[in-house]
Amino acid sequence: MSAPDAQVAVVTGGAGGLGEFIVRRLHAEGYRVAVADVDDAAALTAELDSTGATARGYLVDVRDRAALQRLLADVVTDFGGVQVLVNNAARTQATPLLEITPEELDAVMAVNFTGTFTACQVFGAHFADQGYGRIVNMASLAGQNGGTATGGHYASSKGAIMSATKVFARELAPRGVTVNAVSPGPQDSPMVRSIVGEDALDSFAKSVPVGRLGDPAFIARMVALLVSPDAASVTGACWDANGGLYLR
């Protein structure tokens, strides 16, 4: 499939990790991609398109509403419009539950939940005005089962994202905007490897019912499917990819 008329997709937290997989997938399918991150995305965007015509980086802190508003304005100016938002920016800290400080709780929630909620407001209003849009929020297995290897604040933020997805889906559906979530389980990624530890990785993978960690490239394919124009009848959904760790 390819993006019709070179639609524009904004991916927060797109400079690395799972976000980079999503950026690469969308770009490969013909989307022009705006990579929004607190880290410099210049190397990634230059690799995708050195001219900046189909891939550009934007330094953005999703905790800042004004920064998200500027992002929207800049992307519309640079690309002529925007039709897709992927809320992927996240902060992960595996602090023991009873040791999480108020400051750390606020910091994780500000990026994971408040950043996602605010971006849905800012971009959702723009999409509603133009009568079309696709929003995908990155949730997590941790938000469904309470978390295992991740911190309680991370799990709580991801659970809140799933609730917010339903709220925005209901509000925006009559105006041509779909809002969905993708909920990955443990992926074969540097983040999971650092949390679990290389020595325990094999045994951890065997604890997954399917006997393996997830593939970030497949998660990116799920996102690409949900943001496509063909996904018009899917909204308020949460697509799971957790290897059988959470069944519903």
Report the alpha-carbon distance of residue 61 to residue 39 in Å, rounded.
Answer: 9
Which H, E and C letters describe the chain, residue by residue?
CCCHHHCEEEEECCCCHHHHHHHHHHHHCCCEEEEEECCCCHHHHHHHCCCCCCEEEEECCCCCHHHHHHHHHHHHHHHCCCCEEEECCCCCCCCCHHHCCHHHHHHHHHHHHHHHHHHHHHHHHHHHHHCCEEEEEECCCHHHHCCCCCCHHHHHHHHHHHHHHHHHHHHHHHHCEEEEEEEECCECCHHHHHHHCHHHHHHHHHCCCCCCCECHHHHHHHHHHHHCHHHCCCCCCEEEECCCCCCC
Catalytic residue among 31, 58, 132, 154: 154
Give yes or no: 58 in active site. Answer: no
Report the alpha-carbon distance of residue 227 to residue 219 in Å, rounded.
Answer: 13
Residues with catalytic roles: 154
